[in-house]
Every structure is written in C-alpha cells, then in structure tokens.
Structure 1
C-alpha cells in the first residue's frame, strides 16, 4: 500500500501543473490595491495634517508567445483623494486653510513578462510595463482668518474668507519593472502578489516634469488572481 501511494505521489508531482504558461495559452489577470495614509505635524499654534486615499485597479489579458514568456495588454483605473488642513496662530492673528484634491483616470498599458519557477506551483515573474493615459484632477481651497486686535485700538480688520476651485487634465506616461509572485492553486487559477517595483513617470511629455521611484513597501503591493483560458 505504501508503495502504491508513493508511486501515485511521484506521478502527480511529474504532471505539468503549469500548462497555462506554455506557448499559445492565454491568462486573464485582475489585481488592485487600496491605501489610506494620515500624517500630522506641529502644535496647536502651527498645525498641519493630511489624509490621502488611493485606489488602483487593473485588468489585463496576456498571451504566451513562448513557454513562460507573456505579451499582454491591460487597463488600469487610478483614483486618489487628498485632504489637507493647516492652522496658523501668531500672537493675535489666526488663519485656517482646507484643501481637497481629487484625481482619477484610466491608463491603458502593454507589457512583457517572464515567469521563473521557484518551487511546485510557485512562480516569480518580472514584467516590463508601459502605460499612458490622461489624469483629471479637481481641487478646492478654503482660507479663513481673523485678527484679534485689542478693543482700545482705533482699527480692527474684519474676518476674511476666500475660496478657489479649478480643474485640469494632464498626460501621464509611465514605464515600470514589476516583480510578482504567483501561486497556482489549480492548473487554471492562480493568486498573485505584485511586490512594488521601479517606475519612471513623465507628465505632459516634458522631461523636466519626470521622475524615477523605487518602492518595495508592502503597503503598495497589489493583490490579485489569474485565470488560464
């Protein structure tokens, strides 16, 4: 009996559980990340705080042009909301400022990926991804202040309030190198974990308005799943 079980296990271990990564196969991927951060600085007389909410959702379809080499296209949705508060008090002067910034956009992309097997059903992949889209933003700012001049003074300036709003749109291009872990729970279904990466971003195609970033912080990792067709 033990020999029979051993033979069965050896036979199963020799099966190609990763046939979906062979040439000619197609994989549909879905992933996303949500992040909320809060920061506070200063004291009562000079205080500022901010809250940022960020959502990234992505969908892609990849075709294996060779064993473990994937070429694909996809679409990402980006949404962000940032709220800032600043309070300043100097002797008899007090001012408060509140700003809200909302941004969103769809970013189509193409990518080339390679999957390297680590252990049974676990792959480490690297993706070279190029994306382009338009980001729409809307912001509003409210500033209010007053001066508490002593009553014996001949002049006391009135309180003031100002508000401004605006919208704008920018072209966004980015190139990324993304490491990713994929574990296949079945021959056609896998769980993926994007581990951050290296990114080059350019706004409005201006080299003076471009930047590089290297980020492997787990807070920014993407979780998703893959379906082999």
Structure 2
C-alpha cells in the first residue's frame, strides 16, 4: 500500500465560515441577507454589495475578535467523512491545513472541541524542531521545510489513522496527494502545479470547479458524503 496524504482546508471547506461570519455581522449591528456569496471577498449582493469587497478585511478582523473561528460548525457529514478517510484506508493520512494568520489559540481550542487529538500536532513539533510553539506559524514553516526536503512522511505520517493539523499559508509546499479546498486563488495555484484537488463547491469558485473537472486534476462536491468516494477516484483506494 502506498501512503497518501490528504490536506483539508478549514474555512468554508470543512466548516461553515459563511454562517459564522453572518452571525458575527448581526452581533455588530450589521445584519446581512446572506446566502452563498458569489465573490470570495463577500463584495456581492446579499453581503457588502457588488464591488465592495474592500471592506471585508476590516469586518473579518472584527469578527475574529468576536470569536468567529469558534462559532464555525463542521458541514453536515464532514466529520464522518473524515473518519471514513482515516479509518477505512490504512495508508491514508489526513491533516487539516489552514492558512489562518489571526486565530491565536482559537483553532487549537476549536479542534479540542471537536475531540481531535492535539498530541498529533505536538508530534509534528517533535519531528521538526526542538523548541516550537505548536499552535503558531513556526509549525507551518517547519512542516513546509520538511515538505520541501521530501521528508514529510516523518512528520505528517507520524501517527497512523489519526487527524493532525497545522498552519501553513503555502499549502502547495506539502506536496500532498490530495487537497480539499475552496479558495479560488489557492485552487488555481494547486492546479497550476498539477496537484489533485477536491473542490467544495461555492458560488464564488464555479470557474475552479469547471477547471478541475475539465482538466482531470480534480472533482467538485456539494456534500461531504461524496468525499470518500471521490477521493478514491482521484488517488485510488487502499484497504
């Protein structure tokens, strides 16, 4: 069996950022009509209005202060799908990989709330650096360096059939066998490098959904129940 690494994004891929963001906006006294945004920066109808995406960073930052990341909930069936990926395939290894830069310890706390074994991230630290803040950007850089050297298996595969996580803005440096992602720019970057993707379909990434399927580099999904089967199609089953 060949070891496979599956890198899963968090915001609007595994968990519902949009609903949590709308909840925070309502608390700020700026309720929105909401719905699935057609623009990644929420500069669209139902949110900040067409062409007004420049206000998004400010409102995002305020939402983070209100506990945005802690309010996110996994999409229906997402946790069960991840369990299937990890436990039904002995050679598959799953890591949540987020490019968040402003989360403090919120991601770690959120992971604990999901019952994810935090020791897996400390294992990465033991493999990568002698002294490391396991919730900080240093971890991402350490794993990124290991990935560039072609030795990611020593870190990301240190625990079989578990789910780990890290901060890593340049996700492509992992060289994962499959990326599950929603960000249009990240998807384009991954596909430019010929890396396989599963796209969590949204109104703002329809072009990337089409590109993935037409190029043969990936597939798009609307419900997490589809993910295990689609992953097998892209990287092959291993029982």
TM-score above 0.5, yes or no: no
Larger CA Rg, structure 1 vs 2: 1
Give TM class, smaller chain.
Answer: under 0.3
Q: Which has the higher strand share?
A: 1
TM-score, normalising length from structure 1? Answer: 0.23
Q: Which has the higher helix share?
A: 2
TM-score, normalising length from structure 2? Answer: 0.23
Q: Which has the higher contact order (CA 8 A, sep 6+)?
A: 2
